[in-house]
Structure 1
Amino acid sequence: MDSLTTYREIVKQVISDYAKLRPSHGDIHLDTVFDERQDRYALMQVGWDRGHRVRGNLIYVTIDSGKVSIEYDGMECGIMQDLIDRGIPDRDIILAFLPESRPTAIV
């Protein structure tokens, strides 16, 4: 299996594991969104809590040029270690939400 296929499977496994968690309050469910054609992977929350609508991303990951970019990570402990533990080398993970982790453009 090539690294792109492996990375896709690992990202989907990690997000699917988080999707099994249940929020401690409210009527909220977690939905996985996997778009392999564009290599976009997300965990969304949708529902109601204390009379207020709850919706939005909990995790958003993209894969491009052999790198896994964590665009958003709303999990308490973060997902980077989960990705590493399952086999993605840390050199292939970009914390895109941190300015110092973004690749610099070649001018």
Structure 2
Amino acid sequence: MDQERRYEQLILQILNAHRAKAPRDSTAEDVVLADSDAKHYQLLTVGWERNSNAFGCVIHTSIQNDKIWIHYDGTEYGVANELLDLGVPKDEIVLAFQPPTTRTSSGFAQG
């Protein structure tokens, strides 16, 4: 299996795990969106909570230049930590939600 396909499977594993443990006390639901052609993967919350429209991004990642880019991470533990736990090297994870100048001291890939 090539690296890009492996990374896609790991990302989807993480997104689906978060979707499965989402609280069910509202009519909002978590939805995994995967665009394998553009290599973008998201976990979104959509629906209604009480009388308010609920819509928001929980996680947004992509695969670019053989690296996993984390564009948004609304989780407590952190998608980067989950990827490290699954064996992805630090130098193949880009914390894209941080400014490029901050990434240089993060220990992760620069992008």
TM-score, normalized by length of structure 2?
Answer: 0.85
Name structure 2 gaps, 5 residues minimum.
105-109
Matched with 1:10 is 10
Distance 1:23 1:46 in 2: 13
Q: Secondary structure at the match of 2:58?
A: strand
Name structure 1 gaps, 5 residues minimum.
none
1:16 alignment partner AA: N
Could you say what the CA RMSD is over the residues aligned between the two structures, in angstroms? Answer: 1.6
Matched with 1:37 is 37
Matched with 2:107 is none
Q: Which protein has the bigger strand share?
A: 1
Matched with 1:101 is 103
**1:24 positional shift:** 6.0
Distance 2:79 2:46 in 1: 20
Q: How many residues were matched structurally?
A: 104
What is the percentage of aligned positions where both structures have the same residue? 30
